[in-house]
A and B are shown apart, each in its own frame.
Chain A
Amino acid sequence: MLRIPCPHCGARDEAEFAYRGDATVTRPGPDGDIAAFHDYLYARTNPRGWQVEWWQHSAGCRAFLKVLRHTVTHEVRAVANAAETLEVPPA
Chain B
Amino acid sequence: MSQPHRRQAGGHIDRARRLAFTFDGRRFEGHPGDTLASALLANGVRLVGRSFKYHRPRGIFSAGVEEPNALVELREGARREPNTRATVVELFDGLVAGSQNRRGSLAFDWMAAAGLLAPWLGAGFYYKTFMWPAAWWERVYEPMIRRAAGLGHASGMPDPDRYEAAHAHCDVLVVGAGPAGLAAARAAGATGARVILADQDVLLGGDLLNEPGLEAWRHETLSAIAGMPEVTVMPRTTVFGFYDQGVLGAVERVADHVPEPPPHTPRQRAWTIRAREVVLATGAHERLIAFPGNDRPGVMLAGAARGYARRHGVRAGESAVLFATHDGAYDAAFAMAEAGARIVAIVDPRQDSAAMQRAREAGFDIRTGSEVCGTVGLTALRGVSVRGVGAAGRGDAFAADLLMVSGGWNPAVHLASMSGAPLAWDEALLAFVPGAPVQRERSAGACRGVHGIGAAAADGAAAGHAAAEAAGFVAMPAFPLPDAPAADCRPCELWEVKGRGKAFVDLQDDVTAADIRLAHREGFSHIEHAKRYTTHAMGTDQGKTGGIVGAAVLAEARGEPVSRVGLPRFRPYAAPIAWGAMAGEGVGKHFQPTRRTALHGVHEALGAAWLDAGIWKRPAYYPRPADADAWASVLREARAVRERVGICDVSTLGKIMVEGPDAATFLDRVYANTFSTLPIGRARYGLMLRDDGIVFDDGTTSRIGPESWFVTTTTAQAGPVMQHLEFHLASAWPDLDVSLASVTDQWAAIAIAGPRAREVVAAVVQGLDLSNEAFPFMAVADCTAAGVPARLFRISFSGELAYEIAMPAGYATHVWQAAMEAGATHGIEPYGMEALGLLRIEKGHVAGPELNGQTTAQDLGLGRMLKKKGDFIGRVLAQRPGLTDPSRPRLVGLRSVDPARQIRVGSHLVLPGGDGRSQGWITSVTRSVVEPGWIGLGMLREGEARIGSEVLAANPLMGEEVPVRVVSAHMHDPENIRVRA
Contact = CB atoms under 8 A, between A and B. Distances in A.
B734 A82 contact: yes
Interface in B236-250: 243-245, 247
B483 interface: no
A20 interface: yes
Nearest to B690: A41
Contact of A27 (B244, B245, B723, B731): B731
A26 B727 CA distance: 12
A83 B734 contact: yes
Contact of B245 (A18, A58, A76, A83): A76
Contacts of A74: 244-245
Contacts of A83: 734
Contact of B876 (A18, A23, A33, A56): A33
Contacts of A54: 727, 731
Given A34-B877, A41-B877, A58-B723, A2 B730 contact: no
A34 to B, nearest CB: 6
A78 interface: no
A44 interface: no
B692 A41 contact: yes
B272 A37 contact: no
Contacts of A60: none
Contacts of A9: none
Contacts of A2: 244-245
A32 interface: yes
B613 interface: no
Given A30-B871, A38-B877, A64 B731 contact: yes
Contacts of B877: 34, 37-38, 41
Nearest to B872: A30
Interface in A33-91: 33-34, 36-38, 40-41, 54, 56, 58, 62-64, 73-76, 82-83
Given A56-B727, A82-B734, A1 B879 contact: no
A15 B272 CA distance: 12
Nearest to A28: B876
B655 interface: no
B729 to A, nearest CB: 8
Interface in B430-484: 438
A19 to B, nearest CB: 11
A56 B274 CA distance: 22
Nearest to A33: B876
B966 to A, nearest CB: 33
B876 A64 contact: no
B726 interface: yes
Q: Which of B274, B420, B730, B877 has the most CB atoms of chain A within a 10 A radius of its CB?
A: B730
A36 B880 CA distance: 13
Interface string B962-975: 00000000000000
Contacts of B726: 56, 62, 64
B243 to A, nearest CB: 5
Nearest to B732: A27
Nearest to A20: B727
A19 B876 CA distance: 25
Contacts of B730: 63-64, 82
A34 B879 contact: yes
Contacts of A30: 870-871
A29 interface: yes
Given A41-B877, A56-B723, A64-B727, A3 B691 contact: no
Contact of B691 (A40, A56, A82): A40
B727 A1 contact: no
A2 B245 CA distance: 6
Contacts of B272: 1
Interface in B722-775: 723, 726-728, 730-732, 734
A34 B880 contact: yes
Contacts of B691: 27, 37, 40-41
A32 B880 CA distance: 13
A72 to B, nearest CB: 9
Nearest to A25: B731
Q: Which of A2, A37, A75 has the most CB atoms of chain B within a 10 A radius of its CB?
A: A37
A59 B879 CA distance: 36
B688 to A, nearest CB: 15
Contacts of A20: 727
Q: Which of A1, A26, A62, A76 has the most CB atoms of chain B within a 10 A radius of its CB?
A: A1
Contacts of B438: 73
Nearest to B247: A1
Contacts of B420: 73
A61 to B, nearest CB: 11
A82 B727 CA distance: 10
A62 B740 CA distance: 11
A41 to B, nearest CB: 6
Contact of B243 (A1, A62, A73): A1
Nearest to B719: A58
Contacts of A18: 723
B277 to A, nearest CB: 15
Interface string B698-742: 000000000000000000000000010011101110100000000
Interface in B202-257: 243-245, 247
A29 B243 contact: no
Contacts of A82: 730-731, 734
Nearest to A62: B726
Contacts of B274: 3
Contacts of A38: 877
Contacts of B727: 20, 54, 56, 64
A56 B730 CA distance: 10
A32 to B, nearest CB: 6
Contacts of B871: 29-30
Given A41-B692, A56-B723, A64-B731, A1 B245 contact: yes
Contacts of B723: 18, 56, 58
Nearest to A23: B731
A3 B247 contact: yes
Interface string B269-282: 00010100000000
A1 B692 contact: no
Given A37-B691, A54-B727, A62-B726, A32 B876 contact: yes
A38 B587 CA distance: 42
B731 A34 contact: no
Contacts of A33: 876
Given A34-B877, A41-B877, A58-B723, A1 B244 contact: yes
Contacts of A58: 723
B96 to A, nearest CB: 38
Contacts of A34: 876-877, 879-880
Interface in B872-923: 876-877, 879-880
Contacts of A32: 876
Contacts of B876: 28, 32-34, 36-37
B733 to A, nearest CB: 8
Contacts of A41: 691-692, 877
Contacts of B879: 34
A41 B690 CA distance: 10
A3 B243 CA distance: 11
B392 to A, nearest CB: 51
B884 to A, nearest CB: 11
B500 to A, nearest CB: 48
19 contacts: A1-B243, A23-B731, A26-B732, A27-B728, A27-B731, A34-B876, A37-B877, A38-B877, A40-B691, A41-B691, A41-B877, A54-B727, A54-B731, A56-B723, A62-B726, A63-B730, A64-B727, A82-B730, A82-B731
Interface of A: 1-3, 18, 20, 23, 26-30, 32-34, 36-38, 40-41, 54, 56, 58, 62-64, 73-76, 82-83
Given A20-B727, A37-B876, 14 more contacts: A1-B272, A27-B691, A27-B728, A30-B870, A37-B877, A41-B692, A56-B726, A56-B727, A62-B726, A64-B727, A64-B731, A74-B244, A82-B731, A83-B734
Which 4 A-B residue pairs are closest in the complex by CB-CB distance?
A64-B730, A30-B871, A82-B730, A27-B732
